[in-house]
Chain A
Amino acid sequence: AQKITQTQPGMFVQEKEAVTLDCTYDTSDPSYGLFWYKQPSSGEMIFLIYQGSYDQQNATEGRYSLNFQKARKSANLVISASQLGDSAMYFCAMRERAISGAGSYQLTFGKGTKLSVIP
């Protein structure tokens, strides 16, 4: 089973509107973290927002907020007041302790959602 599922290969949103990008995850680790990254066409991965599994409140960073529903294992990204510069690929990722026990916290990524903002 996939650990991170992003069901929307592509999304369109009108400039200045809000948009929600879906992400569901699967883990048995009680301590995990959820991340969203933005990847413009230039290729760099830009960190947007983080939510820890024990955090009581939804994370917010400027125009970005994370709708964390732990029981449903979903961590949707909400972008308010979309801008043309928001057009990019968006990846949801999860950090959990490696099964190997080496202590690393590698990220497992979803396949991404391509967001296009329409003027």
Chain B
Amino acid sequence: GAGVSQSPSNKVTEKGKDVELRCDPISGHTALYWYRQRLGQGLEFLIYFQGNSAPDKSGLPSDRFSAERTGESVSTLTIQRTQQEDSAVYLCASSLELVGETQYFGPGTRLLVL
């Protein structure tokens, strides 16, 4: 079946503008994760959704970052008043929420804040 998809694939924005990134998980995957990858670095966890449970927001770096998910479908990550340090690749992953289930990643959105 189809993998995780993300849009846009690339986004260039000006400092101070808001951006919205979208993730479509694999159908049937109840868990959805957002990660950030700065240039040359590993991935940093941002936020996690599981069904109707309260999301785990423990990785969000500031209150300018927020995310929503409707049921077990699409998620959007919003960054308000973007800063240059927000420039990174934002990766979404989904998994079946069973212990040890593998997370499958989308292609990412490359965000550049000028």
A residues near B (Cβ < 8 Å) are 4, 31, 33, 35, 37, 42-47, 50, 52, 91, 93, 95, 98-100, 102-112
Contact = CB atoms under 8 A, between A and B. Distances in A.
A102 B108 contact: no
A100 B56 CA distance: 8
**Chain B interface residue number, banded:** 20 to 34
A100 B59 CA distance: 11
Interface string B72-83: 000000000000
Given A44-B107, A45-B91, A100-B56, A91 B48 contact: no
Contacts of A50: 100, 102
A111 B50 CA distance: 27
Contact of A108 (B45, B50, B58, B108): B45
Contacts of A100: 56, 58
Interface of B: 31, 33, 35, 41-45, 48, 50, 53-56, 58-59, 89, 91, 93, 95, 97, 99-108, 110
Nearest to B45: A106
Contacts of B93: 45, 107
A35 B53 contact: no
A94 B101 CA distance: 12
Contact of A98 (B35, B58, B97, B102): B58
B42 A102 contact: no
B33 A111 contact: no
Contacts of B44: 109
A109 B89 CA distance: 15
